[in-house]
Every structure is written in structure tokens, then in C-alpha cells.
Structure 1
Amino acid sequence: MDLETLLSFKWGLMAPEFTIVITATLLSLIDLFMDNKKSRNILGWIGIAGIVIALVFLIGQIGQEPADILFGTYIFDPFAVVFKFIFLVGTAFVFLLAMNYNPEDKIRHRGEFFYLFMTALLGAMFMASSADLITLFIGLELLSISSYILAGMRKDNLQSNEAAMKYIINGAISTAFILFGFSYIYGITGTTNIFEIGMRTANLASSDLLNLAALAFIISFVGLSFKIAVVPYQMWAPDVYQGSPTPVTAFLSVVSKTAGFVIIIRLFLTAFHSAPGLNVDDYNLLWSIKPLLGVIAVLTMIVGNTIALRQKNIKRLFAYSSIAHAGYLLVPFLSLSPLWLEGIWFYLVAYLLMNLGMFAILQVVTVKMGSDDISSFSGLYKRAPIAAVMMAIFLLSLAGIPGTAGFIGKLNIFIGALGPITAMGPFPGHIVLVSIMMATTVISYFYYFGVMKQMFMVAPVDENEPVRIKLPSGVMVVVALCVIGTILFGIAPNLALDFFYSVMGM
């Protein structure tokens, strides 16, 4: 590539990514020359400043025409913009949590703690704009490798070491499946460009090639199933969530999971949506594979919610809760109704607010009490009434109670799945799927309300002299913003959806 060609690219499209790269580099250099005894929280503030600047660039890009650079491997379009907002806002909140995270076993290399979040964020953002299998994989691995290291940042903690080991082993298995699936896709179509793959799979006529395309889809989806932690590939999630530092757990549950769903949307619904079905009556290839996806979604909802009932460790409980929510998010992929994309996006926004807010309070309580057991929340209303009420709001939203963003998110999925698929009405399988989703949602009430029972109805363990809990200012900002968003989008969801429609040009 000559210099003239290099300079001809519209590099301004990557302004948010360049901002994150520069900020990550700056953080690593400052950390290198700082005195070891000085607080690294200044790095957190610099990181937040970099994220805010990236958000400003991203807002400035709204309304621009879709374009691509680097020979079609990087694409700028409304889809990338709306999901980058989730990545940036979610990571900014995680930075505020990280600056106020002080466990008994101190994190030695705290500077790395901050700039590894930036590199993970960069990988997620690159995935949202990737239009090629190669760049998509690079973004995925940048996110994954950063996450492996972050999970093991508490070097003197055996659970953290175990979490990092299990995460990297499962991540390696996931990577092997993804690459194997990608090799089949390339072998069938002869290209790595996602949009060209979509055009070439649409013209597949041979039944043998269609079967290979279905196999490529299944193998790649299995690899990505590890990333979003759906059954039966969820084994790593409870241990990793429990052993990782709480800000890392929050990041994995929101930003990393969102990135997993972004890659599924970007790749499969572009590359395989127009491919012919395996049977004459099937609309497309995705319709042919729908029974497999339906089984995975059902098992994920059932396993996530039922095993959560038995958990005593609060982080493991919310790990299984996260697995269950991944099952809910698979339902729109089965219905592919006219509301499917906004339904997924709104649910991920709601999930960001309620999950990060919940983890912010969880972080303070567990560090203060020195335990991750659910009993550490006993009598929280007497220790910190405001924090208890805010935690209750997040739990109600996670449970899908009306008046919260979580309820609207689930309602959108219900409506989308039950919408008319054919002239005869909803597909019968969708009714079964939604019924199971409703039943498992009711099951989730038991463990969400179990935490609320601990907070409001159980006396503190140290009842005579209960430990007072105060939320640090940074954590309070995260919790307050998440509460406002959870209630506001629960009462007026059109505020979020109007933003989505305006960016998407719908």
C-alpha cells in the first residue's frame, strides 16, 4: 500500500477508536514513569476523559453516510454507532468502579488495571465496525486477551488465579471453534468480506454447499456461544465472575457480553440471512437452524435461572442471572420480527443500567463486609437505606417488574416473538419459547427477591453494632445515573428508542 492510498482513506471515521488508542498508550506511559507509591486513580480520570472525548466524536458522526475504509475491512454505519455508545458508557462506569475498588489483597499493578480496560474497549469497538472476518477476529481477540489478564489482576488471590486460568482455557477452546468455522466460511465463499460472503451464500445452489454453510454457521456459533455464556458453554462464567475483581466482573457481564451479541448480529445476519434454506419450506438458512437455536435458548433460560436458586455466593448468583439473560437475548434471533434489532439494543441498554448499578453496590458491600456471601447483604436497609432502595430498584428491573427498563426490554422481546410471522399468525414455536421465557422469569423472582429479603427483612449479622456502609462519590455517581436511567426508560422507553431510530435513520 503506497502513501497516497493510505492518505486517501477517511481516517476521521475512526476518530473514536484513535482516541481510545491514544488514551491507552498515554496511560501505559504515565504509569511507567510514575512513582510506585503514588495513587493510580489519576490514570482512571484520564481514561474517563478519553472515553468522553471518544463519545463526543461518536456523537458528531451521527447522521453521516455509511462508508468503509481499509479496502472494506472497517465499516462506519449506524449499527456500529448505536452499539459503540453502549461500549463507551459501560466502560466509563466501570472506570468509576475500578477507581473505588480497594480489596484487602491489594492489586499490585493498578496502572495496568486501567489501560487494559481501554484495550478491551478498543477490541469491542473494532468488532462493531468490522466488515471482514480477519478484522472481526482481531477485535475479538484484543477484547478477550485483555479480559483474561484483567480476570487475574488480584495476583495474591487464589480464586482470581483460578478465574484467569479457566477463562483462558475456555477462551482458547472458543477461539479454536471460531477459526474452524471461519475457515469453512472462507472455503465455501472464497472471501473474508462479510458483505461479499452474504452475496455469495445467497447464490448457493448445491445442497452439499448449503450443508457446509450450515455446518460453518453451527461451528462458529458454538465458538461465540462461549463468549456470551449460553448453555452448554457457560461453565466458565460462575467461576470467572466469582474470582475476578468486581469491576472486571461488571465489565464482562455488560461490555463483553454486548460485544458477543454484536459479532453474532454483524456476522450471521449479514453472511447467512440471504442463504437458501436446507428445506424447500424454509425461508432461509437461519430458519433451517432455528430448532437448534431454540433448544439453546430454552436450556440457557432454564439452567441459568434454576441453578441461581441454589447459590449462596452473590457473584455466582449474578453469573447465573447473566446466563439467563443471554437466553432471553437469543429469543429475538429466532423470531427475527420487524422489532428484533431495537429489541436487542434496548434490552442491552437496560441490562447495562441495572447490572452495572447492581455491581456498584455489590462491590462496596462485599469489600466492606469482607465476604461475597449473600448474608453480607443482611440488614443493608439499616446500614445504608439509600443503597438498599437503589439495589432493590435494580433487582426489580432484572426481574422484569413493570415500571422499570428491564420490564420494557422483556416486553419488547415478547411482542417481537409473538408478532405475525406469516399470514396465519405467530409461528407456534415462538409461543412455546415465550411461554418458557415467562415461566423462567417467574423463577428468577425467587432469587432476586431472596436478596431483597436479606436487605429489608433479615437482621444484620452484627446486630448490636452494625457496620455502616457509605457509597464513595464515584460509585454513587454510577448508581444514581443507573437508577435514573432504569426508572426513566421504564416509564418513557421512547426516549431511548427515539435515539435508536434517529441514529439508524428509521
Structure 2
Amino acid sequence: MDMEALLSYRWGAMLPEFIILVVATFLSLLDLFARKTWNRKWFGYIGVVGILLAMISLLLLLNEPPVSILEDTFRLDGFAKAFKLLLLGGAACVMVLASSYEPKEGLTYRGEFYYLLLTALLGAMFMTSSGDLITLFVGLELLSLSSYILAGIRKQQLSSNEAAMKYVINGGIATAITLFGMSYVYGLTGSTNLLEIASQVTFLNGRAYEGMLSLAFLMMLVGLSFKVATVPFHMWAPDVYEGSPIPVTAFLSVISKIAGFALLIRLFFTIFANAPAKEMTTSILESMQGYIGLIAGATMIIGNLVALQQQNIKRLFAYSSVAHAGYLFVALAALSPFMFDAIWFYFLAYIFMNLGAFAVIQLVTIASDSAKITTFSGLYKRSPFLAISMAIFLLSLAGIPGTAGFIGKLNIFVGALSVSSTHYVLVSIMIVTTVISYYYYFTLFVHMFFRPSYESAQIKKPNGLLVSIGLCACFTIILGIVPNIAYTFFFEQFSGFTDFFS
């Protein structure tokens, strides 16, 4: 490629990624050359500024037409813009958590803590914009490798070492299975470009081709199910969530999950929605709905039932995260016309209610040096603001009307029921398991408001974290009362992802 061709590309489409890359590089060099006596907490504030600048640059690109550069390996379409906004908004909240994270034993590698969060974010952003199997895989690995290190960054803690080891082993297996599935697609089509693959698979009709593509689909589904922690590929999640620092746990439960679903959608709806099956009467994706539905049902049931037994708050939220992955898989299994907007809105609500809850968890658990649920006993008397905010987040996670979580689940219900009567089974499971989740969410509610406090330690409340908690609580209520604000923005700015296949 000559210089003239290189300069002809519309590099402005990658401006948000360039900003995150520059800030991450700057922080790594600053950490390398700065004195050890410097307070690295300021790195977190620089990271927040960098993320906000990247978000502003992305907002300036919203009205731009779809852009495809570098031989269609990088796409900036409505889908990429929508999910990048979620990733950047969630990452800004996580970076605020990281800036306020002060464990009792201290954090030796605080500088690495911040720029590794940024490199993980960069990988997630590339996953949403990738138009090629190679760049998809590079983005996935950048996210994964950074996450492995972050999970074990508290090197003096055995639980953190265990979390990193289990995450690396399970993540490596998942990556290998995903890559194996991708290799079949490449072998059948001779291309790694997603749009080129989509045009090629339409001509691959016959039992042999259908069998190979079905096998590729199942391997990718299994590998990516590890990434988003669905049953039975979820066993790493409780231990990794428990052993990781709380900002990392929050990152894995929200940012990593958003990126995993973005990758699932980008792959499956570009490739397998076009691949013919059953003598060209349907597509591979539609023929595999049963498998996706099976994973969704098992994930909702096991995630919620096992959560009932948890006494550790981080493990409880790990299984809660598993259950929410199941709810999102219901939308994938239904393949309704409302699927894209339902998933996007659910993640928007999930960012506010889950990251807000983790912010409260961080303040309470660090003050008491314990992650047991009983440490929340009497929280209302110790800090009414934190208790009321946490109550709002729990109500939303449980799907109580008047909150963003309720609207998110309602959209998935309606979407599933509008397509086929066979989805009544999945919707019934979703309703029953949602009711089951009331027990463990309201158990925490009871501890905060109706149990005497067993802790006398003062809760330190950094101003930045309090502002984040307040904003998350406000948006959780606003989106529950007037969700049309988000939906109007979605359809006006992203056109319902109509440019997804172009």
C-alpha cells in the first residue's frame, strides 16, 4: 500500500480509538518514568478525561454516513456507534471506581491498573467496529489479555491469583474454540472479510456445507458463551468476580459483557443469517434458535437459583450477571424485529443499575474489609444516601416497574411474544426466574433497612464516586419513567441499524 492510498482513508472514523490509544500510551510512559513516590491516583482522572474526549469525538461522528476503511476491516456504522457509546459511558464509570479504589493492603501496581483498563476498552471498541475475522480476533484478545492481568493485579492476595489463573485457563479454551469455528468459515469461503463471507455463504447450499457451517456456528457460540458467562460455560465467573478488585469485577460484568454480545451479533447476523439451511427454506441462524433458547433457559434458571445460596456480595452479583446474560439470550433466541433496540436499551439500563450497585459495594466492603452480605446490615442508619441509591439499583435489577430494568425486561418479553408462540416457554421461564431473583435482591434490601448494623467503621465517600452513584440512580429512574428518551435517540441517531449489512 503506497502513501497516497494510506492518506486517502477517512481516519477520522477511528478518532475515538486513537484518543484511547494515545491516553493509554501516555499513562504507560508516565508510569514508567515518574517517581515511585508520585500518587498514581491522578492517572485515573486523566483516564476519565480521555474517555470523555473519546465519547465527545464519537458524538461528533453520529451524523456521518457509514464508513469502511482498511479494506473493510474497520467499519463505523450505526451498530458500532451505538455500542461504542455504551462501552465509553460504562468505562468512564469504571474508571471513576478505579480512581477511588483503596484496598486495605494497598495497590502496588496502581499505574498499570489504569492503562490496562484503557487497553481492554480499546479492544472492546475494535470488536464493535471490526469487519474482518482477523481484526475481530485481535480486538477480542486485546480485551482478554488486559482482563487477565487486571483480575490478578492484587498479587499478594491468593484469591486474586486464583481468579487470574481460572480466567486465563477458561479464557484460553474459549478463544481456541472460537478460533476453530472461525477457521471453518474461512476454509469454506476463502475470505476473512465479514461482508464477503456473507455473500459467499449464500451459495453454499447442500448437506455437507450446512453441516460444516452449523458446526462452525456451534463452536463460535460455545466460545463466545464463555466470554459472556452463560450456562454451562459460566463456572469461571463467581471465582473471578470474587477474587478481582471491585472495579475489575464491574468492568467484567458490564463492559466485557457488552463487547461479547456485540461480537456475537456482528458475527452471527452478518454470516449465519445469510447461510441457507434445510434446502434453502431457512438460515443457519434460524435453524439454531433452539440451541440459543436452551442456553437462555438454563442460564436464567441456574443463575438465579444458585444466587439464592450466596453469602458473598461479589459472588451474588456474579450469578446475577449470569442470569442477566440469560435474559439477553432470550432476545437473541427470539430474533424479533425489536431485538436490536431491546438489547441496546437493556445494556444502557444495565450500565447504570449494575455499575451504580458496584460503586456502593466498593464503598461498603472496603470500609468493613469484608464482602459478606451482612456487612450491608444497617446501612440506612450509617449512610442513608448509599442505602437509598442501592435500593434503586436493586429494584431495577429485579425488574420492578418504574425503573429502567423493568422497561428492559418488558421489551424482551414483548419482542419474544410477538414472533412465535413457541417462545412462551422462554418467556415463562424468564418471568418465573425474575420472581425468584426478588428473594436475593430483597434479602439485601432487608439487611440495609431492617437489620441492626454490625459495623462501626466509617464509610469514606469520595466526591467523584458519590456523584457517579447519584447520576446512575437518577438515570435508572428517568429511563424507567420516560424510556422514550433513549428510544428516540436510538432510532434518530442509529436508524435501527439499517446499515448493518451494507
The TM-score with structure 1 as length reference comes to 0.97
Aligned to 2:309: 310
Classify the secondary structure of the residue corresponding to 2:68. strand
Aligned to 2:128: 128
The answer to whether residue 32 in structure 2 is matched with residue 32 in structure 1 is yes
CA distance in 2 between counterparts of 1:483 and 1:10 reads: 39
Q: Which residue among 449, 474, 477 is the counterpart of 1:484?
A: 474
Aligned to 1:8: 8
Residue type of the alignment partner of 1:327: G
Aligned to 2:271: 271
Aligned to 2:374: 375
**Shift, 1:105, TM fit:** 1.8
Classify the secondary structure of the residue corresponding to 2:205. coil
Residue type of the alignment partner of 1:349: L
CA distance in 2 between counterparts of 1:255 and 1:456 reads: 31
CA distance in 2 between counterparts of 1:401 and 1:197 reads: 43
CA distance in 2 between counterparts of 1:317 and 1:279 reads: 46
Instruction: After superposition, give the CA deviation of every residue in 1:30-84 in whole Å (9 maximum; x if it has no partner).
Output: 1112111121121111111111111111011011111211111001111100100
Instruction: After superposition, give the CA deviation of every residue in 1:189-216 in whole Å (9 maximum; x if it has no partner).
Output: 1111111111111222121101110110
Superposition pairs of residues 178-197 of structure 1, within 5 angstroms: 178-197=178-197
Residue type of the alignment partner of 1:393: I
CA distance in 2 between counterparts of 1:34 and 1:450 reads: 47
Instruction: After superposition, give the CA deviation of every residue in 1:239-294 in whole Å (9 maximum; x if it has no partner).
Output: 000000000000000000000000001111111102112367x5321121111111
**Shift, 1:467, TM fit:** 3.1
Classify the secondary structure of the residue corresponding to 1:68. strand
Residue type of the alignment partner of 2:389: M
Aligned to 1:424: none
Instruction: After superposition, give the CA deviation of every residue in 1:159-184 in whole Å (9 maximum; x if it has no partner).
Output: 00100000000010011101100000
Residue type of the alignment partner of 1:325: H
Instruction: After superposition, give the CA deviation of every residue in 1:10-30 in whole Å (9 maximum; x if it has no partner).
Output: 111100000000000111111
Aligned to 1:68: 68
CA distance in 2 between counterparts of 1:295 and 1:251 reads: 27
CA distance in 2 between counterparts of 1:76 and 1:450 reads: 44
Instruction: After superposition, give the CA deviation of every residue in 1:432-486 in whole Å (9 maximum; x if it has no partner).
Output: 1000000000000000001001101111114xxx334242112111101100110
The answer to whether residue 349 in structure 2 is matched with residue 350 in structure 1 is yes
Superposition pairs of residues 168-179 of structure 1, within 5 angstroms: 168-179=168-179
Kindly indicate whether the alpha-carbon contact (under 8 Å) linking 1:107 and 1:155 is maintained by their aligned counterparts in 2: no
CA distance in 2 between counterparts of 1:175 and 1:6 reads: 32
Kindly indicate whether the alpha-carbon contact (under 8 Å) linking 1:211 and 1:278 is maintained by their aligned counterparts in 2: no
Aligned to 1:46: 46
Aligned to 2:232: 232
Superposition pairs of residues 45-194 of structure 1, within 5 angstroms: 45-194=45-194
Greater Cα shift, 198-207 or 303-312 = 198-207
Residue type of the alignment partner of 1:291: G
CA distance in 1 between counterparts of 2:191 and 2:432 reads: 44
Aligned to 1:297: 296
CA distance in 2 between counterparts of 1:467 and 1:47 reads: 30
Aligned to 2:427: 434
Aligned to 2:489: 499
CA distance in 2 between counterparts of 1:436 and 1:137 reads: 34
Q: Which residue among 411, 423, 437 is the counterpart of 1:444?
A: 437
The answer to whether residue 244 in structure 2 is matched with residue 244 in structure 1 is yes
CA distance in 1 between counterparts of 2:282 and 2:391 reads: 44
Kindly indicate whether the alpha-carbon contact (under 8 Å) linking 1:105 and 1:157 is maintained by their aligned counterparts in 2: no
Kindly indicate whether the alpha-carbon contact (under 8 Å) linking 1:361 and 1:471 is maintained by their aligned counterparts in 2: no
Aligned to 2:462: 472
CA distance in 2 between counterparts of 1:392 and 1:291 reads: 36
CA distance in 1 between counterparts of 2:96 and 2:401 reads: 29
CA distance in 1 between counterparts of 2:298 and 2:340 reads: 23
CA distance in 2 between counterparts of 1:287 and 1:269 reads: 10
**Shift, 1:87, TM fit:** 0.7
Kindly indicate whether the alpha-carbon contact (under 8 Å) linking 2:367 and 2:460 is maintained by their aligned counterparts in 1: no
Residue type of the alignment partner of 1:22: V
**Shift, 1:304, TM fit:** 0.2
Residue type of the alignment partner of 1:351: Y
Greater Cα shift, 436-445 or 329-338 = 329-338
CA distance in 1 between counterparts of 2:411 and 2:460 reads: 36
The answer to whether residue 441 in structure 2 is matched with residue 457 in structure 1 is no
Structure 1: gaps of 5 or more residues: 422-426
Aligned to 1:206: 206
Structure 2: gaps of 5 or more residues: 497-502
Kindly indicate whether the alpha-carbon contact (under 8 Å) linking 1:75 and 1:130 is maintained by their aligned counterparts in 2: yes
CA distance in 1 between counterparts of 2:390 and 2:461 reads: 12
**Shift, 1:491, TM fit:** 0.3
CA distance in 2 between counterparts of 1:12 and 1:291 reads: 42
CA distance in 2 between counterparts of 1:203 and 1:380 reads: 62
CA distance in 1 between counterparts of 2:3 and 2:125 reads: 26
**Shift, 1:505, TM fit:** 2.5
Classify the secondary structure of the residue corresponding to 1:328. helix
Kindly indicate whether the alpha-carbon contact (under 8 Å) linking 2:205 and 2:277 is maintained by their aligned counterparts in 1: no
Residue type of the alignment partner of 2:408: G
CA distance in 2 between counterparts of 1:237 and 1:174 reads: 13
CA distance in 1 between counterparts of 2:243 and 2:402 reads: 33
Greater Cα shift, 28-37 or 402-411 = 28-37
Kindly indicate whether the alpha-carbon contact (under 8 Å) linking 1:381 and 1:455 is maintained by their aligned counterparts in 2: yes
The answer to whether residue 287 in structure 2 is matched with residue 288 in structure 1 is yes
Classify the secondary structure of the residue corresponding to 1:39. coil
Kindly indicate whether the alpha-carbon contact (under 8 Å) linking 2:237 and 2:318 is maintained by their aligned counterparts in 1: yes
CA distance in 2 between counterparts of 1:18 and 1:187 reads: 33
CA distance in 2 between counterparts of 1:210 and 1:200 reads: 13
Kindly indicate whether the alpha-carbon contact (under 8 Å) linking 2:128 and 2:262 is maintained by their aligned counterparts in 1: yes
Identical positions, percent: 56
CA distance in 2 between counterparts of 1:55 and 1:231 reads: 33
Instruction: After superposition, give the CA deviation of every residue in 1:317-340 in whole Å (9 maximum; x if it has no partner).
Output: 000000000000001111111110
CA distance in 2 between counterparts of 1:128 and 1:429 reads: 31
Kindly indicate whether the alpha-carbon contact (under 8 Å) linking 1:28 and 1:115 is maintained by their aligned counterparts in 2: yes
Count of residues in Structure 1 that have an aligned counterpart in Structure 2:
496
Kindly indicate whether the alpha-carbon contact (under 8 Å) linking 1:73 and 1:131 is maintained by their aligned counterparts in 2: yes
Classify the secondary structure of the residue corresponding to 1:322. helix
Q: Give the ranges of 4+ consecutive aligned residues of structure 1 lying more than 4 Å apart after TM superposition.
A: none
CA distance in 1 between counterparts of 2:319 and 2:310 reads: 9
